[in-house]
């Protein structure tokens, strides 16, 4: 029994120095007293310097087990590694070393059988399904006939949640199929190089978790994960050139399986039971059930947080909230070799301005006085809970570089008997994972205190925007919106200044100084060297100049009523914004409302370079690449001045988003795009975006530095950022939805005892014009065992990383390479798991680590996204737009984007407070008689089945039947009945929660617009190419098997 | 002699002409020996209330390269209806309209009293007058306020149909759109960037029709027509007139049509926008850019002017227009920059210039010259109103006004009556209620064949019209027989220099007369096109046999001014001492030629009455600020010279030798010698130097005044005495343009220096005791007195070696 791969995790069978180290690491942390209980931990002062040697045997084998007193102490929160719920099962048993034959509860087992064993759809539905994948799979490479029969298995995590018990019926016979544990052959085989990989030029890059290194030479596509080729490749990986080399070919032989998986092509695929493959909605539900509504305390290093989709409350107890930082894995491999072997990217996703729910404490503000924040002399890390005070409190040792620093006199404090500072609880920087610090003048530009930032609204008043009514819409909205500018906590009014400019091929500044009797308009026609024609009066306090601003906003639409100017400029207006900020000596944000490609004679003039012929060629990447030159420099200028650019595009045709969005995407800005904008259908949608964008909390002129403890370092950064050097992440602005994804690499071996620390320090200017530092600290575990790593993986974060790295890679590589890389890396990660962590099983079984069991569905979905789909039917601008949108996306947003919520509305309880549970994104879940809401953060659909209940239609739309429904509706009528109210409230909640507004599309089943809707059913086959989830799994499985042979 | 004086006076009154010689030497050789060239001061628009213009076109000689206008000197065959041109001898038939002429029915232009006659010609529609204000906003608040008020006031003085425009500048240059009601709109230019005229017009949206849809209320063509209707021109007429304009303005019709719809954004009829513009001016703020400690404000005068010139060039080429530039300091940035913005580097002085240490001088001068030439080509004149305590860069910018006939007014502040009244006086009207200004003048000189024209000195530019009457020998602006004078006032006077080309061996027939015809076309301030023709003739005289006649025909006043103009013209390009040497040499040569003396005996030297004052003029000229830069800033020198080369003879003479009146109880006011001996304790002196008006109270008078005798009834006569010079001064102040600096001072007063620096230092600290009298006041100077000057002159004149 225990041999089953999912139970008996090989790593645990080995000696576990990591666990000892784990403790040691904690011992060094300020929270150590806490661990004092812990098997007689060594005195903290020495712990860091000299990690206690633990035999492993003398220590509790599992972190989740007993020694952790769930309710122990000072930090006041339970310290459990896993939520108490898991304790309902005796986890220790399953985690005990392999040798211990304790069988897992049969229930659990059988569950897994049911879920995992695809081959045995068989048992359930006896027809072998394998044929269809063969027929359908677009993946190239000759699949060995039998590989088409994947059998899957979850590697159950140690804390197999009880919910899984609810899963499909047990299939006891299946167990026999599973191979006995530890087949020696596995080791011998190593992962065979699949043929595809060999086609790729072997690059020099050894990067593991980084499939798309920087801009690689175009001639070396796919320069990633070549474990067999790398000099440091594990010895067990013979470099194979043939697909199935080696005597121990483990590839399943045709007919070798009872399922009779002949490669016969043809018969249309029989519907497989979706329930038998890992379900994202299920995982989300499970996690919600486990952690939902609970308090999550960040007092344990390396603890994996609940999923992003789960509602939980964070209590900061020494590590930054997962809302601020999320890692792809919370247990780093100790060595570069291990990291390379598993190919799991090591990254963290930082969202420095993450919104905190009301019940969580806002960040404390630490003020260290005139001398500024206390920092390590050597590595400049800021004072944080990981600093170790020694020498009676007179000195402290930096957790990041081990440098011993003097404690400044004013900061001196005695240590208590546990070596902890007496003022531990009084100082946020000693007890919390995240906090803010007051920055002194040294941290300000030119050593001058910053001025409050400004918002400039630049409105394109060319023919299109006037005609569509957009200009009037914006102007009217601004009159009220400007009262809601973000302000400093506790401030009476916003310190943000506002400025207004309009433009077509000339630029018009407005002087709305409060002392004037009427606004003044200043036209600048010289586009070659932009400048601001007035030193004051352009940027004003809205409250002071309200009358003039309102007067101006009322006049702007009228002033241009008769315009027939259709040419616009673009780069100069951004330049103008930069100059305005420069003149005012402040940072700020430009809101640009732009209609068309800038074709007027001016710097940054663009021309149509949309060439569908390039799709699916090696040159496709040029469609995504911004034009070099003007805009590049402009981005630099913007960032240098702290000028963030938000671009609202209202195009009627191709506008070269790739180039136009270049500046926003380097300055912490966002790009919004409203195709064929019409006020009545898109107006509200746009205004919602505008309101969110204006009101959201934001920091300006920011520089982020990610410091790590020795042994690894941040090597690559993704986001709406600008990098002048390799370490400083510069952001003109960073708002509550923007994230920076940071990739790490090993420099050296990490120690299991000390673990690994990350400190993100963000220096920025608040909306009130104060210079602050936001410090986010996180401790991670380190392990020499890959199983630890796999166990601590965070799929959503992984997917976020993969999405960004893939989207960056398409700038430099053919799409096909990128997709292949994604598939290969997926396969590789899983193969490595199987090889190193899973217990022996039949090769035909697909074994997935528990933490990553829905990973493939995301990867598959990612490959079906518009940027990665080489289809001429997709608009180039759309693809470019989505590509850029993802680059700064948060984990929850990529999760939602890649796995939309499909919410059934037809059978919900109208009276209930909660919204219905989403179902899997598959056509199968749709019902003719159903009504579904689908959203992915970008689009929102209300899908009406052909046979939707008339009373529902009546309730929602006040029309007797579907046939009476108007086409192109984008808003639900406000009807006074429970159903309508409920649905509208669900929609409003969604719109409220998401960073962006979504336009509501109402689609009827079998109607033409339904196509749009269908492409979001990510488990199905893609509309523009791309496989279904099931086929993808099969394909990955095949790859894995090739790797393992 | 009296006859000559009368003759001269009569000629001046009738024709506005003063010749240096009223008998002309008949050969080139003789003419050169006379030292002072045959030359004249000509006031093209001399006010002639008694001369109503005739309403027809002049009759011109049909010879292509002559085109002289029919005049009283022409021989006319009334029977054959033929007239002979007195310049080229071409025989021309009269035009049909002259069919009725006879001996008793002669057209005006044939009558001798109409040697000057003015024609009103009906060519095309009349173009409006244009006034483009270019206003510096880097002023002190008080100054700006005063300037704003003056400008607002000026709107009421402008002809209602005149077009106005407004450009303001400081660090940036703003061209204001005038038609906007609810929001004031302006086009902004960076003050540091030199733009071409084309770029400027593009940026102002003047070149593309579609710009009509630009913000504001774009004037559609109908609007344009409407604007014109105010001038009494009906819409259809306008359309018609556009095509005529095309011919007249040499602009393609389509462009005119477009332009006419666009120009109205920046230039509008006064009556239409005076409210708007008044508000706009009222709202003008000081240049808002902060000026750091130790810096000058950044003033983009160069670009502002370039934009102004470009705007007019693009909209109203060849139309009468005034660009009125108001500055309160030197240009400190961009093209045309005169001084950097660092206060620690002072603006260039004569010393710097002589040391070749004026960094921006050449570049800036070149820049403004180019602008001035462009502007002149288009017939637009540029006025400079510079009011500041320090220099404002007039040296560099003077050409703007000098070449285009614009005014230069220099004052200490816009908040002075000097500026306010002077500015008001720009809009003075004549007896007909017309403005005393004319535009786009083209003056042509035709000479009979014994004479050629060498050049002109005055506010004009050459039109490079080479003809048979153009001499190769250039004096002043030469090489042409036509000059453009973009703006003319009734007092604008040009010095015109001739050369006698008749060879010695080709005697002129008995009774032959040399003739000169001045044909001046211009746009009258009531927008009419007019042509004024002045034809004059002088007798030839053989210098050998008739030298006395020639001598007595010498107009020493005119000659002094004409020589002074030559000197000033030279001074612009030559070193001061060289000019003085040249002047001295001319004077000595003249004295040698006409003086009566025994060789090497200075005491025997005598000059005839017709030359007697001439050396004295030269003495004062040498001391004048036109040739002496000592104690003057470069700007002041430029300012003085500017006015000197355009004023008429009387004013010019005042400038050379100020006049001094003395008031005392001893008799009525009398003119006295400009000499230190005239400064007496019991006199009040009134000195008029053109630029300054000084009332000087003698020591005793000053004491009396201090004691307040004038307040006492019994000393009413003292009060009257005090009042008399004030009244006289007031009279001068009323008429003078620009308004002089008014100085009321007394013995020992600091401002008395104005007087002391002008009078002939006959008594100085050096010779005071030698004279030993208590008469007069000693002047503390090392300058030579007139007496010393004359002694030297005599000595040099009589030496045989000279």
Question: For residue A698, which of A653, A650, A737 has the smallest C-alpha distance?
Answer: A737
pLDDT band at A223 (very low <50, low <70, confident <90, very high): very low
| A-chain residues near B199 (CB < 8 A) | 526
Residue B672 has pLDDT above 70, yes or no: yes
Q: Are B445 and B516 in contact (CB under 8 A)?
A: yes
Is beta strand A388-390 parallel, antiparallel or unpaired with respect to B659-664? unpaired
Phi-psi region of B296 (alpha: psi -120 to 50; beta: other; left: phi over 0): beta
User: Strand, helix or coil at B184?
Assistant: strand
Does A523 contact B184 at a Cβ distance shorter than 8 Å? Answer: no
**Quick check: A124 pLDDT over 70?**
no
Residue A216 in tokens: 């690689």
Report yes or no: A547 at the B interface, CB cutoff 8 Å. Answer: no
A95-104 pLDDT, tens digit per residue, is: 333 433 443 3
The answer to whether A561 faces chain B, any CB pair under 8 Å, is no
Q: Do A525 and B187 touch (CB under 8 A)?
A: yes
Distance from CA of B336 to the nearest CA of A (A): 20
**Cβ separation B190–A529 shorter than 8 A:** yes
Distance of CA A27 to the CA centre of its chain: 32
pLDDT of residue A182: 38
The reply to whether B211 touches chain A by the CB within 8 Å rule is: yes
**Rounded to whole angstroms, how far apart are CA atoms A820 and A859?**
11
- Rounded Cα gap, residues A827 and A1037, in angstroms: 7
How far is it, in rounded angstroms, from Cα B776 to Cα B660? 14
Chain B residue with Cα closest to A566? B210
Contact of B183 with chain A, judged by CB distance below 8 Å, is answered with yes
- A44-88 pLDDT per residue, tens: 333 333 334 444 443 334 443 333 444 434 443 444 444 433 333
* Helix and strand numbers, DSSP H then E, in chain A: 32, 31
Give alpha helix (H) positions in B250-290. 253-262, 270-283
Is A582 an interface residue toward B (CB < 8 Å)?
Answer: no
Residues B82-118 have pLDDT tens digits of 999 999 889 999 999 888 888 888 888 999 889 999 9
Q: CA angle, corner A608, sides to A606 and A611, nearest 5?
A: 140
Q: Looking at the partner chain, which of B189, B213, B283 has a beta carbon nearest the beta carbon of A526?
A: B189
ipTM of the complex: 0.83
Rounded percentage of chain A residues whose pLDDT exceeds 70: 74
Which candidate in B137, B167, B187, B188 is best for mutational testing of the A interface (most A CBs within 10 A)? B188
Instruction: Tell me the nearest-neighbour CA distance from A474 into chain B, angstroms.
Output: 18
Q: Hey, is the C-beta of A489 within 8 angstroms of any chain B C-beta?
A: no
Residue with tokens 């004038």: B710
Q: Which residue of chain A has the CA closest to B202?
A: A525
B708: Cβ–Cβ under 8 A, 6 or more apart, which residues?
Answer: none
Asked if the Cβ–Cβ distance from B183 to A565 is below 8 Å, we say: no
pLDDT at position A1024, please?
83
Residue B187, chain A, CB below 8 Å: the answer is yes
Give the pLDDT confidence of A845-891 residue by residue, as tens digits: 788 898 998 999 999 999 999 999 888 888 999 999 999 999 989 99
Could you give the CA distance from residue A802 to residue A796 in angstroms, rounded to a whole number?
Answer: 10
Q: Please give the mean pLDDT across all residues of chain B.
A: 87
- Which chain B residues are within 8 Å of A519, Cβ to Cβ? 183-184
CA A738 – CA A762 distance, rounded (Å): 13
Q: Give the span between the Cα atoms of B656 and B690, in whole angstroms.
A: 9
pLDDT in tens, B309-353: 999 998 888 888 999 999 999 999 999 999 999 999 999 999 999
pLDDT in tens, A546-587: 999 999 999 999 999 888 889 999 999 999 999 999 989 999
Q: Do B288 and A536 touch (CB under 8 A)?
A: yes
Quick one: what percent of chain B has pLDDT higher than 70?
A: 91
Query: How much is the pLDDT for B317?
Result: 86
- Give per-residue pLDDT as tens, A808-857: 999 999 999 999 999 999 999 999 998 888 877 777 778 889 899 899 99
Q: pLDDT per residue over A148-199, tens digit each?
A: 344 444 444 444 443 333 333 334 333 333 333 333 333 333 333 333 333 3
Asked if the Cβ–Cβ distance from B213 to A555 is below 8 Å, we say: no
**B189 touches A: beta carbon within 8 Å:** yes
Using the predicted structure, report yes or no on whether residue A651 has a pLDDT greater than 50.
yes
Instruction: Compute CA A927 distance to the chain's CA centroid, rounded to the nearest angstrom.
Output: 32
Tell me the pairing of strands A347-350 and A388-390.
unpaired
Residue pair A847/A840 in contact (Cβ under 8 Å)? The answer is no
Q: Among candidates A8, A19, A183, which has minimal Cα distance to A837?
A: A8
**Which chain A residues touch B222 with a CB distance below 8 Å?**
none
Chain B residues near residue A506 by CB distance under 8 angstroms:
203, 205, 214
Mean pLDDT of chain A: 77
Nearest to B471 by CA among B463, B479, B483: B479
Average pLDDT in the A974-979 region?
A: 90
Residue that wins the pLDDT comparison between A596 and A22: A596
Q: Please enumerate in sequence order all residues whose Cβ is within 8 A of that of A247, keeping only pairs 6 or more positions apart, or say none.
A: none
Q: Which of residues 490-529 of A touch B (CB under 8 A)?
A: 502, 506, 508-510, 516-526, 529
Interface test with B, best of A523, A559, A602 (most B CBs within 10 A): A523
pLDDT in tens, A306-346: 999 999 999 999 999 999 999 999 999 999 999 998 889 99
Distance between B184 CA and the closest CA of chain A, angstroms: 5
Cβ pair A565:B213 closer than 8 A: yes
- Per 3-state DSSP, chain A is made up of helix, strand and coil in percentages (nearest 5) of 35, 15, 50
Give counts: helices (H), strands (E), chain B.
24, 29
Tell me, rounded to whole angstroms, the distance of Cα A166 from its chain centroid: 29
> How far away is chain B from the Cα of A653, in angstroms, using its nearest Cα?
23
**Closest-approach residue (CA) in chain B for A583:** B289
Length of chain A in residues, anyone? 1045
One DSSP character per residue, A189-219 reads: H-PPPPHHHHHS---S---SS-SS-SS--TT
A169's tokens: 């019926």
DSSP E strands in A270-387: the ranges are: 295-297, 313-315, 325-327, 331-333, 347-350, 365-366
Nearest chain B CA: its distance from A684 CA (Å)? 27
Mean pLDDT of A636-661: 94
Instruction: List, in order, residues 6 or more apart from A420 with CB less than 8 Å away.
Output: A30, A32, A33, A44, A389
For residue A517, list chain B residues with Cβ-Cβ distance below 8 A.
Answer: 283
Contact check, Cβ <8 Å, A535/B218: no
Segment A392-413 shows an average pLDDT of: 92
- Chain A to chain B, count of Cβ pairs less than 8 Å apart? 82
The residue behind tokens 């940026």 is B203
Q: Which helix (H) or strand (E) holds B223?
A: helix B221-229
pLDDT at position B315: 85
pLDDT band for position A529 (50/70/90)?
confident
Residue B287 DSSP code: -
pLDDT at residue A143, as a whole number: 39
């Amino acid at each position: 029994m225990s041999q089953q791969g999912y139970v008996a995790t090989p790593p645990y069978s080995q000696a576990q120095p990591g666990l000892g180290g784990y403790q040691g690491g904690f011992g060094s942390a300020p929270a150590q007293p806490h661990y004092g209980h812990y098997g007689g931990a060594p005195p903290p002062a020495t712990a860091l310097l000299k990690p206690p040697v633990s035999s492993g045997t003398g220590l509790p084998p599992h972190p989740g087990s007993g020694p952790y007193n769930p309710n122990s102490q000072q930090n006041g929160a339970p310290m459990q590694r896993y939520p108490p719920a898991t304790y309902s099962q005796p986890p220790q048993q399953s985690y005990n070393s392999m040798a211990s034959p304790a069988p897992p509860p049969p229930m659990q087992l059988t569950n897994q059988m049911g879920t995992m064993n695809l081959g045995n759809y068989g048992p359930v539905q006896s027809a072998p399904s394998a044929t269809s994948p063969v027929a359908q799979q677009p993946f190239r490479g000759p699949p060995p006939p039998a590989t088409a029969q994947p059998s899957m298995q979850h590697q159950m995590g140690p804390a197999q949640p009880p919910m899984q018990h609810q899963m499909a019926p047990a299939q006891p016979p299946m167990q026999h199929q599973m191979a006995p544990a530890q087949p020696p052959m596995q080791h011998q085989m190593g992962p065979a190089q699949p043929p595809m990989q060999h086609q790729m030029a072997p690059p020099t890059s050894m990067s593991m978790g980084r499939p798309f290194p920087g801009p690689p030479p175009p001639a070396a596509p796919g320069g990633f994960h070549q474990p067999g080729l790398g000099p440091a490749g594990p010895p067990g990986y013979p470099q194979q050139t043939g697909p199935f080399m080696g005597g121990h070919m483990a590839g399943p032989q045709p007919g070798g399986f009872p399922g009779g998986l002949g490669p016969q092509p043809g018969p249309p695929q029989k519907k497989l039971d979706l329930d038998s493959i890992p379900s994202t909605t299920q995982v989300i539900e499970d996690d919600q059930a486990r952690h939902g509504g609970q308090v999550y305390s960040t007092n344990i290093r390396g603890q994996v947080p609940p999923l992003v989709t789960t509602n939980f409350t964070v209590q900061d107890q020494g590590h930054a909230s997962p809302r601020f930082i999320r890692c792809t894995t919370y247990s780093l491999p100790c060595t570069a070799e291990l990291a390379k072997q598993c190919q799991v990217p090591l990254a963290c996703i930082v969202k420095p301005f993450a919104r905190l729910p009301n019940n969580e404490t806002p960040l404390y503000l630490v003020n260290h006085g005139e001398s500024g924040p206390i920092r390590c002399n050597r590595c400049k890390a800021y004072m944080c809970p990981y600093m170790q005070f020694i020498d009676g409190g007179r000195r402290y040792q930096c957790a990041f570089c081990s440098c011993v620093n003097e404690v400044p006199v004013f900061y001196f404090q005695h240590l208590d008997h546990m070596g902890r500072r007496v003022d531990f609880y009084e100082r946020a920087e000693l007890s919390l994972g995240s906090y803010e610090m007051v920055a002194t003048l040294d941290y300000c530009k030119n050593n001058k205190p910053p001025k409050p930032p400004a918002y400039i609204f630049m409105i394109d008043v060319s023919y299109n925007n006037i005609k569509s009514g957009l200009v009037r819409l914006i102007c009217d909205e601004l009159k009220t919106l400007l009262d809601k500018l973000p302000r400093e906590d506790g401030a009476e009014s916003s310190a943000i200044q506002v400025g207004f400019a309009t433009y077509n091929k000339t630029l018009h500044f407005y002087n709305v100084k409060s002392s004037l009797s009427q606004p003044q308009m200043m036209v600048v026609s010289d586009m070659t060297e932009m400048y601001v024609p007035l030193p004051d009066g352009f940027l004003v306090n809205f409250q002071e100049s309200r009358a003039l601003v309102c007067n101006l906003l009322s006049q702007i639409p009228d002033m241009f009523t008769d315009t027939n100017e259709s040419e616009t400029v673009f780069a100069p207006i951004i330049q103008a914004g930069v100059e305005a900020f420069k003149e005012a000596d402040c940072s700020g944000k430009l809101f640009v409302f732009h209609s068309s490609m800038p074709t007027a004679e001016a710097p940054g003039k663009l021309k149509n370079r949309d060439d569908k012929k390039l799709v699916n060629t090696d040159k496709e990447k040029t469609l995504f690449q911004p034009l070099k030159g003007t805009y590049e420099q402009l981005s630099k200028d913007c960032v240098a001045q702290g000028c963030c650019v938000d671009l609202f595009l209202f195009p009627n045709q191709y506008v070269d988003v790739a180039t136009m969005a270049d500046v926003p995407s380097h300055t912490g800005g966002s790009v919004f795009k409203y195709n064929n904008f019409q006020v009545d259908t898109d107006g509200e949608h746009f205004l919602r975006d505008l309101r969110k964008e204006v009101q959201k909390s934001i920091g300006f002129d920011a520089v982020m530095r990610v410091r790590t403890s020795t042994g690894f370092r941040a090597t690559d950064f993704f986001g709406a950022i600008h990098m002048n050097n390799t370490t400083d992440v510069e952001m003109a602005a960073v708002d509550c939805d923007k994230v920076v994804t940071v990739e790490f690499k090993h420099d050296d071996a990490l120690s299991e005892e000390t673990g690994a620390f990350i400190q993100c320090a963000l220096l920025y200017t608040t909306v009130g014009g104060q210079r602050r530092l936001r410090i986010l600290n996180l401790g991670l575990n380190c392990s020499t065992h890959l199983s630890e790593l796999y166990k601590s993986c965070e799929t959503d974060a992984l997917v976020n990383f993969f999405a960004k790295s893939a989207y960056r890679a398409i700038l430099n590589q053919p799409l096909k390479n990128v997709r292949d890389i994604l598939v290969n890396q997926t396969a590789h990660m899983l193969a490595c798991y199987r090889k190193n962590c899973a217990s022996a099983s039949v090769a035909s079984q697909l074994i997935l680590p528990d933490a990553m069991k829905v990973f493939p569905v995301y990867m598959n979905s990612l490959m079906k996204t518009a940027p990665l789909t080489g289809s001429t039917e997709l608009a180039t601008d759309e693809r470019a737009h989505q590509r850029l949108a993802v680059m700064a996306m948060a984990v929850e947003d990529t999760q939602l984007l890649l796995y939309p919520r499909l919410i059934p509305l037809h059978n919900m309880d109208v009276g209930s407070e909660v919204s219905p549970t989403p179902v899997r994104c598959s056509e199968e879940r749709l019902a003719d008689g159903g009504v579904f809401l689908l959203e992915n953060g970008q689009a929102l659909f209300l899908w009406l089945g052909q046979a939707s209940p008339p009373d529902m239609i009546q309730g929602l739309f006040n029309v007797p039947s579907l046939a009476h429904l108007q086409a192109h509706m984008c808003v639900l009528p406000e009807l006074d009945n429970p159903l309508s109210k409920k649905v509208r409230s669900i929609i409003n909640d969604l719109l409220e929660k998401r960073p962006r507004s979504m336009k509501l599309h109402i689609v009827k089943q079998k109607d033409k617009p339904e196509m749009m809707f269908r492409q979001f059913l990510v488990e199905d086959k893609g509309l523009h190419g791309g496989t279904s989830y099931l086929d993808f799994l099969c394909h990955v499985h095949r790859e894995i098997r090739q790797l393992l042979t | 002699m009296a006859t000559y004086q009368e003759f001269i006076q009569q000629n001046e009154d009738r024709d506005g002409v003063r010749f240096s010689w009223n008998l002309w030497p008949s050969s080139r050789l003789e003419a050169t020996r006379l030292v002072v060239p045959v030359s004249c001061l000509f006031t093209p628009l001399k006010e002639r209330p008694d001369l109503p213009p005739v309403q027809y076109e002049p009759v011109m000689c049909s010879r292509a390269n002559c085109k002289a206008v029919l005049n009283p000197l022409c021989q006319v065959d009334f029977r054959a209806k033929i007239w002979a041109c007195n310049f080229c001898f071409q025989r021309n038939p009269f035009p049909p309209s002259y069919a009725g002429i006879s001996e008793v029915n002669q057209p005006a232009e044939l009558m001798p009293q109409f040697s000057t006659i003015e024609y009103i010609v009906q060519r095309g529609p009349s173009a409006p007058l244009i006034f483009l204000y270019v206003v510096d906003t880097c002023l002190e608040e008080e100054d700006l306020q005063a300037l704003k008020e003056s400008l607002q006031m000026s709107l009421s003085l402008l002809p209602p149909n005149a077009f106005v425009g407004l450009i303001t500048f400081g660090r940036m240059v703003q061209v204001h759109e005038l038609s906007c009601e609810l929001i004031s709109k302006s086009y902004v230019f960076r003050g540091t960037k030199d733009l071409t005229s084309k770029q400027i017009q593009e940026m102002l949206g003047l070149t593309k029709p579609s710009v009509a849809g630009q913000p504001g209320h774009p004037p559609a063509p109908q609007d344009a027509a409407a604007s014109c209707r105010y001038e009494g021109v009906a819409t259809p007429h306008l359309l018609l007139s556009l095509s005529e304009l095309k011919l007249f303005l040499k602009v393609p019709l389509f462009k005119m049509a477009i332009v006419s719809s666009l120009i109205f954004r920046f230039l509008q009829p006064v009556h239409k926008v005076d409210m708007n513009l008044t508000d706009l001016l009222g709202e003008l703020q000081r240049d808002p850019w902060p000026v750091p400690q130790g810096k000058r404000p950044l003033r983009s005068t160069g670009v502002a002017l370039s934009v102004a010139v470009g705007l007019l060039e693009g909209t109203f080429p060849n139309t009468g227009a005034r660009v009125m530039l108001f500055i309160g300091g030197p240009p400190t940035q961009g093209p045309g920059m005169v001084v950097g913005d660092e206060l620690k580097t002072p603006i260039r002085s004569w010393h710097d210039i002589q040391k070749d240490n004026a960094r921006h001088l050449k570049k800036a001068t070149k820049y403004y010259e180019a602008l001035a030439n462009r502007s002149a080509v288009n017939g637009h004149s540029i006025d400079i109103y510079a009011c500041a305590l320090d220099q404002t860069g007039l040296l560099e910018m003077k050409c703007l006004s000098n070449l285009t006939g614009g005014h230069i007014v220099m004052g200490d502040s816009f908040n002075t009556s000097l500026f306010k009244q002077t500015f008001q006086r720009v809009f003075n009207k004549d007896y007909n209620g017309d403005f005393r200004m004319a535009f786009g003048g083209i003056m042509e000189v035709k000479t009979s064949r014994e004479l050629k024209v060498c050049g002109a000195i005055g506010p004009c530019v050459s039109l490079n019209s080479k003809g048979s009457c153009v001499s190769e020998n250039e004096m002043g602006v030469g090489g042409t027989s036509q000059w453009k004078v973009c703006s003319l006032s009734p007092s604008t006077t040009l010095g015109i220099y001739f050369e006698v080309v008749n060879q010695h061996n080709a005697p002129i027939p008995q009774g032959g007369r040399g003739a000169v015809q001045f044909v001046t076309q211009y746009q009258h301030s009531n927008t009419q096109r007019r042509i004024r023709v002045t034809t004059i003739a002088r007798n030839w005289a053989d210098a050998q046999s008739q030298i006395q006649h020639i001598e007595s025909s010498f107009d020493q006043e005119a000659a002094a001014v004409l020589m002074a103009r030559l000197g000033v013209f030279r001074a612009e390009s030559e070193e001061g001492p060289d000019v003085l040497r040249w002047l001295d040499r001319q004077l000595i040569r003249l004295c040698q030629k006409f003086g009566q003396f025994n060789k090497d005996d200075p005491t025997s030297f005598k000059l005839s009455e017709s030359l007697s004052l001439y050396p004295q003029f030269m003495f004062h000229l040498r001391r004048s600020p036109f040739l002496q830069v000592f104690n003057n800033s470069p700007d002041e020198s430029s300012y003085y010279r500017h006015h000197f080369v355009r004023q008429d003879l009387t004013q010019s003479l005042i400038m050379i030798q100020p006049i001094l009146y003395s008031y005392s109880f001893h008799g009525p006011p009398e003119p006295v010698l400009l000499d230190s001996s005239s400064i007496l304790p019991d006199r009040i002196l009134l000195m008029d130097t053109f630029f300054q008006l000084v009332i000087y109270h003698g020591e005793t008078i000053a004491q009396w005044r201090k004691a307040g005798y004038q307040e006492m009834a019994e000393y009413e006569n003292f009060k009257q005495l005090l009042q008399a010079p004030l009244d006289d001064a007031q009279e001068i102040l009323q008429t003078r343009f620009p308004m002089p600096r008014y100085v009321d001072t007394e013995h020992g007063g600091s401002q008395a220096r104005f007087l002391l620096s002008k009078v002939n230092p006959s008594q100085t600290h050096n010779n005071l005791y030698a004279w030993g009298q208590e008469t007069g006041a000693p002047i503390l100077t090392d300058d030579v007195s007139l007496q010393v000057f004359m002694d030297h002159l005599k000595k040099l004149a009589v030496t045989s070696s000279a």
